Amino acid sequence: DAGVIQSPRHEVTEMGQEVTLRCKPISGHNSLFWYRQTMMRGLELLIYFNNNVPIDDSGMPEDRFSAKMPNASFSTLKIQPSEPRDSAVYFCASSFREAGTDTQYFGPGTRLTVL
Amino acid sequence: SQKIEQNSEALNIQEGKTATLTCNYTNYSPAYLQWYRQDPGRGPVFLLLIRENEKEKRKERLKVTFDTTLKQSLFHITASQPADSATYLCALAYGSSNTGKLIFGQGTTLQVKP
């Protein structure tokens, strides 16, 4: 099993540019999560999907952030326009929903630097 | 609002000793709690899950306790090894057990010295 795949692994961009992060969840998993990790704030949940439907996007910092999941094997997180304070490591995780558990499997992350 | 606290200071112990990490939470009644390990440059990896009606869970050298009265979980690594050096995160299920949403603590970094 390939695990959760994220691309790119590193992204350096200039303020104002659009950034798109990609995620391929583990096959068969029906929940997908996007997190952001910084030293100051730790691991924060941005948005999560169940069966490709966004369930909770209350963690999305502002309208500059958007996420889509067009099918069960692909999701994107877009930042437009990007700002230096968006610099962080962004993780995608997937899980197979069953009541009372929900172990999440994380990808390797995308390190985003906005200059 | 919900708050999860893990010791922000690094924990340094000698190889062979037992490491004990603490996770405290407030304003919260989680259905279950999970512990993850994170190595530098990598995503968190699941270790153990314990439900609200369980007091203790074990897996090889790992042991987790869950005290819903104290609102605290303890994570123990017995016979610690340098390879156990990493950051350990606790995560609480948010809302009902059916949401799948987790809230993570900041993590505690463990350093095991040979």
Question: What is the radius of gyration, based on Cα positions, of chain A?
Answer: 13
Q: Do B35 and B44 contact (CB within 8 A), yes or no?
A: no
Report, in this order, helix, strand and coil percent for chain A, each rounded to 5.
5, 55, 45
Of B31, B43, B104, the CB nearest to A100: B31
Tell me, yes or no, if A25 comes closer than 8 A to chain B by beta carbon: no
**pLDDT band at residue B96 under the 50/70/90 scheme:** low
**pLDDT band at residue B29 under the 50/70/90 scheme:** confident
Residue B95 has pLDDT above 80, yes or no: no
Residue A99 has pLDDT above 60, yes or no: no
Lowest mean pLDDT among A71-80, B37-46, B92-101: B92-101
**Average pLDDT for B12-24:** 96
Of A56, A91, A100, the CB nearest to B101: A56
Higher pLDDT pick, A43 / B30: A43
Q: Could you tell me which residues come within 8 angstroms of residue A41 by beta carbon, excluding any fewer than 6 positions away?
A: none
**pLDDT band at residue A62 under the 50/70/90 scheme:** confident
Report CB contact under 8 Å: B104, A42: yes
Long-range contacts of A36-44 (CB under 8 A, 24+ apart): A36/A88, A36/A89, A36/A90, A36/A91, A37/A88, A37/A89, A37/A90, A37/A91, A37/A109, A38/A87, A38/A88, A38/A89, A42/B104, A42/B105, A42/B106, A42/B107, A43/A91, A43/B44, A43/B89, A43/B104, A43/B107, A44/B104
Query: Residues of A with CB below 8 A from B34's CB?
Result: 103
Q: What is the dihedral of CA A73, A93, A77, A63, to 10 degrees?
A: 130
**Average pLDDT for A67-81:** 97
Angstrom CA distances, A80 to A43, A62, A66, B11, B37, stand at 21, 10, 8, 40, 32
Residue A11: the pLDDT is: 97
Query: Residues of A with CB below 8 A from B49's CB?
Result: 101, 103
Q: Is the link from the previous residue into A8 a cis peptide, with omega within 30 of 0?
A: yes
Locate the chain A residue with the closest alpha carbon to B98.
A99
- Which of A:71-100 have CB within 8 Å of B? 91, 93, 95, 97, 99-100
Q: What count of CB pairs under 8 Å joins A to B? A: 56
Residue A110 has pLDDT above 70, yes or no: yes
Residue B1: the pLDDT is: 67
pLDDT for A83-93, tens place per residue? 999 999 999 99
Q: CA of A63, closest CA in chain B: separation in Å? A: 22
Lowest mean pLDDT among A30-39, A78-87, B16-25, B99-108: B99-108
Which of A6-15, B1-10, B88-97: highest mean pLDDT? A6-15
Higher pLDDT pick, A57 / B28: A57
Of A43, A102, A107, the CB nearest to B100: A102
Token pair for A24: 């391929």
Locate the chain B residue with the closest alpha carbon to A57.
B101
Residue A6 has pLDDT above 90, yes or no: yes
